[in-house]
Amino acid sequence: MTTTPAFTMVSKRKRVVKLCCLGVLFLTLAYAIIVIDPTEVIVEDKLSMYEGSYLNRLWKKPPLEVFISIYVFNITNPEAFMRGEERLRVQEIGPYVYQEFLEHRNSTFNPNGTLSFIPVRRQVFVPERSVGDPMEDRIMIPNIALLGVSSAAYRMSTFAAFAVAAALKPLGMAPILNITTHDLLWGYDDPLVRIASTLLPELIHFQKLGILDRMFDDGFDTVTINLPESVRNQQREVEDSIIDDDDDGVPDELAETLQEEYYHDIVLQSKTEEPIRDYSIDVWNGSPGLAHWGYVAKDHWDADRRNTPCNTLQGSYDGSVFPRNISKTEVFKVYRKAFCRTLPIAFEREGEVDGIKAYWFSIQENAFESSIDDPYTSCYCKNNQCLPKGLGDLSPCWYNIPVAVSLPHFYKGDPTLSQAIDGLSPNKEKHDAVIIMQPQLGIPMKANIRVQISLLTNVSFNSELRPFHNTVIPLIWAEMSLEKLTPELILLLNVLFGIAPYLQTGFICILALLGASLLATAVLVLLCSSEAATFEYDPRKSIRYSTVNMIPYPLRKELEKYGEAEIIRREPLLIENSA
- Check residue 505 and give its pLDDT: 92
Closest listed residue to residue 522, CA positions, set 105, 2, 25, 172? 25
pLDDT in tens, 556-577: 565 555 555 454 444 444 444 4
As a whole number, mean pLDDT of residues 190-194 equals 76
Rounded distance, CA 207 to CA 98, Å? 23
DSSP secondary structure of 287-345: BSB-GGGT---TTSTTHHHH--TTSB-TT-B-SS---SS--TT-EEEEEEGGGTEEEEE
Closest listed residue to residue 391, CA positions, set 475, 341, 454, 433? 454
Residue bearing the bigger pLDDT, 408 or 398: 408
As a whole number, mean pLDDT of residues 4-17 equals 68
- Check residue 339 and give its pLDDT: 87
pLDDT in tens, 237-272: 666 665 454 455 545 554 444 344 433 433 344 444
Rounded distance, CA 202 to CA 184, Å? 24
Rounded distance, CA 259 to CA 267, Å? 11
Q: Is the peptide bond before 95 cis (omega within 30 degrees of 0)?
A: yes
- Check residue 521 and give its pLDDT: 86
| 3-class SS string, 45-63 | HHCCCCCCCHHHHHHHCCC
CA dihedral sign of residues 407, 470, 95, 395: negative
pLDDT in tens, 401-415: 889 999 999 999 999
Across 43-47, 337-341, 491-495, least confident range: 43-47
Ramachandran category for residue 558: left, alpha or beta (phi over 0 → left; psi -120 to 50 → alpha): alpha
Q: How confident is the model at residue 579 (pLDDT cuts 50, 70, 90)?
A: very low
Ramachandran category for residue 92: left, alpha or beta (phi over 0 → left; psi -120 to 50 → alpha): beta
3-state secondary structure of 497: helix
Are β-strands 114-125 and 331-336 bridged in parallel, bridged antiparallel, or unpaired? unpaired
Rounded to the nearest 10 degrees, what angle do helices 38-46 and 500-532 cross at? 150
pLDDT in tens, 271-314: 445 667 899 999 999 999 999 999 998 888 888 889 999 999 98
- Check residue 260 and give its pLDDT: 44
As a whole number, mean pLDDT of residues 411-432 equals 93
Mean pLDDT of the chain: 81
List, in sequence order, every residue forming a beta bridge with 330; answer none if it has no partner. Answer: none
Contact in structure between 62 and 321 (CB atoms under 8 Å): no
As a whole number, mean pLDDT of residues 449-470 equals 85
